């Protein structure tokens, strides 16, 4: 029997035509090197900000170009009303919809109609207020023309940028499907019949797959859940959809969720097997032929939240490094004078998505006694620690070089502390001592964190110590806010500097 026919017959409910591989966009490989895809709300929000800036800037510029003197109080009122009306009209006409940003021709007509309606409304408003005098009408005419030109120019530039991002794959979400049974096959058929530019199915994963099957409905079978976790760690998957039966005795579904909860990825379950009549809570109905999906797990930082965290880290780290540079210079000189060896101690630790990063610290141990893998954690009166090192560790000053890690994008100022690879508690490796330990790697590690300011810093002599740390780390990930970070930073400065638990 020919191999292709044998393979087709070995996979239930899969036709011979469906064993042909689905084409992979060329841009996909490029996108994988550039992180997670841009969130639609970030793109449309940025476009809205550009529109608002164009309307305000041209309104102010028109006041300088208009003949005569515009009544200042009325000018400000009309400007604010025009901004509000314009933003609402642009939204109402759908001029900022993501699908209309791919091609200029799709979005320019709604944009022009929105601004024409806004200008007409302002004319009616001035007429009702009895303010239809030459200075005001001159300003409104100039503003209308300038704003329309600025909005069109901004939209053309936006469409060009969005098109570039789309070709580079930055708008495409890499989706992995778990399940090769009837549920998975139905979902894949619907995806194959309804291709979308913002979604690419990278493959299918199933621990119970047929060992010799290579394709499922034309999509490659790439292995089991452990293989999927590897793909996630390598940044090749943004979203996972479970296409598995919803029976009470389906242990495979629970096992899949348990494993995927350790990784920074969105996880949903296909409800193609369930008839849904309305949207409620976490239920999300598909559009058109799209199957409904129930969101189960979410990446802790997406969209504007991810941007806010990044801006917070980079801005604060830059400011703090400038402020503490004299202190860091003095510490560097003191370390060099006290003992031989490098100023900085570099240690491999697990960071975001369980990737290894090199964390910087001021050297606090004698160089010949340094423990790069943290086989033995520091203890009270540890002979490996220098006299200066005791002060640095007690006051957390040895952590200051990690602001460089923050600027490099490897760490955050606040987050779960990165642990050394061989760190132990009660004789057990941290990963063996705590269930779901790797879930703390769903966010970048931090210089300080909720666990540290809550008293769980320093030696982990018992399993309870690391359990409490992980509990606080997971609580931080689930409840993250910028204000919460600022509170932790303040608590670090005021209450954690002279902690008794650091040796």
Q: What pLDDT does residue 324 have?
A: 94
Nearest-angstrom CA–CA distance, 51 and 247: 50
Q: What pLDDT does residue 5 have?
A: 38
Nearest-angstrom CA–CA distance, 423 and 402: 19
The tokens of 389 are what? 């090192």
| Beta pairing partners, 219 | 216
Architecture of the domain made up of 172-273+289-299: 3-Layer(aba) Sandwich (3.40)
Nearest-angstrom CA–CA distance, 263 and 161: 31
Nearest-angstrom CA–CA distance, 407 and 161: 26
Q: What pLDDT does residue 6 have?
A: 42
pLDDT in tens, 57-102: 999 888 888 765 555 677 888 899 999 999 999 999 999 988 888 8
Nearest-angstrom CA–CA distance, 10 and 87: 57
DSSP state for residue 429 in the 8-state scheme: E
* Cα–Cα nearest to 430, from 385, 457, 405, 465: 465
For the residues of 224-236, what is the DSSP string, one character each? SHHHHHHHHHTT-
* Percent of residues in the chain assigned helix, strand, coil, to nearest 5: 50, 15, 35
CA separation, residue 192 to residues 49, 185, 203, 290, 292 (Å)? 36, 10, 12, 11, 16
Going from N- to C-terminal start, the domains of the chain cover 40-168, 172-273+289-299, 304-498
Contact 269/297 with Cβ under 8 angstroms? no
CA angle 54, 56, 60 (to 5 degrees): 115
Q: What pLDDT does residue 74 have?
A: 78
Contact 59/128 with Cβ under 8 angstroms? no
Contact 327/400 with Cβ under 8 angstroms? yes
Q: What pLDDT does residue 25 have?
A: 44
Q: Which residues of the chain have pLDDT under 70?
A: 1-35, 67-72, 210-212, 248-250, 273-290, 369-381, 458-461, 495-503
Element (H, E) at 6: helix 3-10
Q: What pLDDT does residue 377 have?
A: 62
Q: What pLDDT does residue 395 have?
A: 84
Q: What pLDDT does residue 103 have?
A: 79
Nearest-angstrom CA–CA distance, 134 and 66: 9
Contact 283/292 with Cβ under 8 angstroms? yes
DSSP state for residue 266 in the 8-state scheme: E
* Cα–Cα nearest to 191, from 205, 206, 207, 203: 203
Q: What pLDDT does residue 173 have?
A: 87
How do strand 428-429 and strand 424-425 relate by DSSP bridges?
A: antiparallel
Burial code (b: 16+ CB inside 10 Å, e: under 16) for 380-417 equals eebeebbebbbebbbebbbbbbbbbbbeeebbbbbbbb
How do strand 356-362 and strand 344-350 relate by DSSP bridges?
A: antiparallel
Contact 439/261 with Cβ under 8 angstroms? yes
Q: How many CB atoms lie within 10 A of CB 214?
A: 15
The tokens of 311 are what? 């801006």
Where in 256-355 does DSSP place strands (E)? 266-270, 283-284, 293-297, 344-350
Q: What pLDDT does residue 280 have?
A: 45
CA separation, residue 228 to residues 169, 207, 250 (Å)? 21, 10, 20
The tokens of 4 are what? 């292709």
């Amino acid at each position: 029997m020919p191999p292709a026919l044998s393979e087709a017959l070995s996979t239930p409910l899969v036709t011979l035509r469906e064993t042909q591989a689905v084409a992979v966009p060329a841009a996909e490989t490029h996108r994988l090197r550039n992180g997670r895809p841009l969130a639609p709300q970030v793109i449309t929000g940025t476009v809205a900000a550009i529109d608002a800036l164009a309307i305000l800037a041209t309104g102010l510029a028109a006041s300088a170009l208009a003949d005569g003197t515009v009544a200042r109080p009325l000018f400000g009122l009309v400007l604010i009303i025009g901004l509000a009306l314009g933003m609402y009209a642009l939204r109402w006409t759908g001029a900022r919809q993501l699908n209309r940003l791919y091609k200029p021709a799709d979005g320019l007509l709604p944009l022009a109609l929105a601004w024409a309606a806004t200008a007409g409304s302002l004319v009616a408003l001035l007429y009702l207020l009895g303010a239809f005098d030459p200075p005001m009408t001159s300003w409104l005419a100039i503003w209308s023309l300038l704003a329309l030109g600025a909005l069109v120019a901004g939209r053309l530039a936006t469409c060009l940028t969005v098109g570039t991002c789309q070709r580079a794959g930055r708008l495409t979400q890499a989706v992995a499907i778990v399940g090769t049974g009837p549920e998975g096959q139905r979902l894949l058929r619907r995806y194959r019949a309804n291709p979308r530019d913002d979604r690419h199915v990278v493959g299918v994963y199933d621990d119970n797959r047929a060992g010799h099957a290579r394709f499922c409905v034309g999509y490659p079978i790439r292995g089991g859940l452990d293989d999927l976790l590897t793909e996630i760690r390598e940044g090749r998957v943004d979203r996972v959809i479970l296409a598995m039966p919803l029976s009470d005795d389906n242990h495979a579904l629970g096992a899949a969720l348990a494993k995927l909860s350790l990784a920074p990825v969105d996880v949903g379950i296909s409800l193609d097997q369930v008839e849904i009549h309305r949207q409620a809570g976490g239920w999300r109905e598909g559009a058109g032929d799209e199957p409904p999906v129930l969101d189960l797990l979410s990446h802790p930082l997406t969209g504007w939240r991810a941007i806010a965290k990044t801006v917070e880290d980079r801005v604060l780290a830059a400011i703090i490094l400038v402020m503490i540079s004299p202190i860091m210079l003095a510490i560097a000189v003191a370390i060099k004078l006290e003992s031989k060896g490098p100023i900085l101690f570099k240690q491999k630790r697990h960071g975001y998505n369980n990737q290894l990063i090199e964390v910087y610290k001021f050297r606090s141990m004698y160089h010949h006694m340094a423990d790069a893998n943290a086989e033995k954690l520091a203890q009270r009166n540890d002979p490996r620690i220098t006299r200066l090192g005791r002060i640095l560790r007690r006051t957390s000053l040895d952590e200051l070089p990690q602001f460089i890690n923050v600027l490099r994008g490897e760490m955050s100022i606040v987050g779960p502390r990165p642990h050394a690879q061989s760190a132990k508690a009660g004789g057990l490796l941290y990963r063996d001592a705590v269930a779901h330990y790797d879930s703390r790697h769903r966010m970048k590690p931090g210089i300080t964190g909720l666990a540290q300011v809550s008293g769980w810093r320093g030696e982990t002599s018992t399993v309870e110590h690391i359990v409490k740390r992980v509990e606080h780390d997971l609580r931080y990930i689930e409840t993250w806010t910028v204000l919460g970070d600022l509170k932790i930073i303040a608590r670090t400065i005021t209450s954690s500097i002279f902690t008794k638990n650091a040796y």
